[in-house]
Copies of this chain bind each other. A is one copy, B any other.
């Protein structure tokens, strides 16, 4: 069996993950096969459902198979702020392989399916294959870059700009996996969920989305946002995809 054939039998999220890595790092056949052999128990989680609790120790990373996963920080009064979102094919928590006690929480941003990939398996790959080591290092570099942009956005952009930026980022990342066209991106998140990603109250999130809608940039439905004018969103948000590599 050649690796391509084997690849076709690997679960889609694992193939997406491999494609992600190969977008920035050359991996030889053996390394590709090793990635494709990754597996983990699948779990379905409804929007808002908690997957991992702040302060606990976990023994696996989370590979997104469907929907969107959120890392979040929580205030003492329970308010949450998403600090990073993960789309299908993303391996969330690569850092936790060597640092398994998490200072952040993990929840489902939209209804989603995650594969629990044991840290042990990832650790073995890293120790054995220099290409995979390089690839995961780069994944963490991209992760840091995205976090940096989010921190910057929180201070440098207002609500509408942040919302536009978020939609640009998610649509582009979903497009790269091959799950949508950026001009026809549909996000099935409720406004109460969205407001955690934007760092706004539900009421103001509603007003900001209304503003984007009135400008013809998006259309909204119950639990759904659809891109209407991607370029308009990009301009409003000053979205520059360089930070996504």
Contact = CB atoms under 8 A, between A and B. Distances in A.
Interface of A: 24, 55, 71-76, 79, 81, 83-84, 95-99, 101-104, 126-127, 130, 133-134, 137-138, 140-145, 147-157, 199, 238, 242-243, 245
B104 A148 contact: yes
Copies in the complex: 2
A83 B242 contact: no
Contacts of A154: 81, 151, 154-155, 199
A144 B144 contact: yes
Q: Which of A55, A75, A103, A155 has the most CB of B within 10 A?
A: A155
Nearest to A98: B137
A84 B144 CA distance: 10
A154 to B, nearest CB: 4
A149 B79 contact: no
